[in-house]
Amino acid sequence: MSHHHLSRDERASLAALLRARHSQSECARLLGVHRSTVSRELKRSPGEYRVALANRHASNLRRSSKLARRKVEGDKMLELRIVKLLNLGRSPEQISEETGTVSDDAIYSWIERSRKDLAVLLPQRGKIRHKYGKNPGEAQGWTKLVRNIATRPKIVESRKRVGDWEGDTVIGRDRARLLVHVERKSRFIVAKIMPNGSADVTHAATVASLKGLPLHTITYDRGSEFALWKMVERDTGAKVYFANAHHPWERGTSENSNGLLRRFFPKGTPLGQRLQRDLDKAVRLINHRPRKCLNWKTPCHVFGYCCNSS
């Protein structure tokens, strides 16, 4: 397992795991990182681990490191020479060859980062250049270890049993959001209002939402709010799967359910101002509405459990 610096979401997850009294080794295993990554992270933040301070410290280190490596910003004479040559009609590639001290990529990056006014002097007049290297769709961080939807049991796709769920969040105008789970066979919905989309809040709300209900699998998108999926598996007993990035049709049941809830909570609604009982009322109306896809039965009827009982 390779070493890497933790992302903001991973730091939030680490803080939640530490509050739950997990050891450094357990934290590393649940986050899917090397234990020395966790050890180094905690050494950089002595005392009680605080996410905000850790993020600020990491940001300062990253900024200092980048500035130290940026050749043009660190050399005023070189910067003036590049500007002069650009005004003479030279391309970054020609300038790189002439100066012998800076690459053409470094010049393009410097202009994009610090001197956008010089973009009109470039050969393509500042049009976007394609960057090569890492595949933009390549999984990073915690998503490298997720269980892909392609490995999900075929019975889930067939909708022949109750207990296979899809989950997603509906975002409000404020930081609050709805955590929505829908059962695939019955289209039965459970939902909770969360104050934010942090991984630890989502984990707790998921466990509370699905407690006592038939549960075999859950399928999510790759949003960072689901980063603690291994803890969800541990606390619910379900197998968690993830759809491919930017493939919402792989969770069509969830997308449809979100659309139904949007009728009650339109886009732009500040969800933090709504009460859970408002959400429960909307969910009851949806769960008791006959559906054509269910041969005009209600989700509650097919699920075998009435949401009025919850």
Using a cut of 0.85, tell me whether the model's pTM lies above it: no
CATH of the domain at 239: 3.30.420.10
Residue 203: partners with Cβ closer than 8 Å, 6 or more residues away: 16, 228, 231, 232, 235
How many structural domains are present in the chain?
3
- Which residues have C-beta within 8 Å of that of residue 68, sequence separation ≥ 6? 74
List pLDDT tens digits, range 2-30.
556 787 778 888 888 888 888 888 888 88
| One domain for residues 152 and 208 | yes
Task: Report yes or no on 130 lying in a domain.
Answer: no
| pLDDT score recorded for residue 130 | 46
Same domain for 162 and 63, yes or no, is no
Are 62 and 80 in the same domain?
no
Q: Supply the pLDDT for residue 140.
A: 57
Asked if residues 203 and 232 have their Cβ atoms less than 8 Å apart, the reply is yes
Residue 124 pLDDT: 60
Same-domain check for residues 80 and 64? no
What's the mean pLDDT in 221-235? Answer: 92
For residues 39-61, one letter each, b for 16 or more C-beta atoms within 10 angstroms of the residue's C-beta and e for the rest, the string is: eebbeebeeebebeebbeebeee
Does 138 map to a domain?
no
pLDDT of 68 above 50: no
CA distance 173 to 37: 35
Are 52 and 96 contained in the same domain? no
Verify that 177 and 86 share a domain, yes or no: no
pLDDT tens for 185-227 read 999 999 999 988 889 899 999 999 999 999 999 999 999 899 9
Residues 106, 29 share a domain: no
Same-domain pairing of 155 and 197: yes
What average pLDDT does this structure show over 261-286?
A: 88
Same domain, 54 and 80: no
The secondary structure of 47-108 as a DSSP string is SS--HHHHHHHHHHHHHHHHHHH-TTTT-HHHHHHHHHHHHTT--HHHHHHHHSSS-HHHHH
pLDDT at position 133 is 46
**pLDDT category, 161, cuts 50, 70, 90?**
very high
Is the domain of 165 the same as that of 273? yes
The pLDDT value recorded for residue 245 is 87
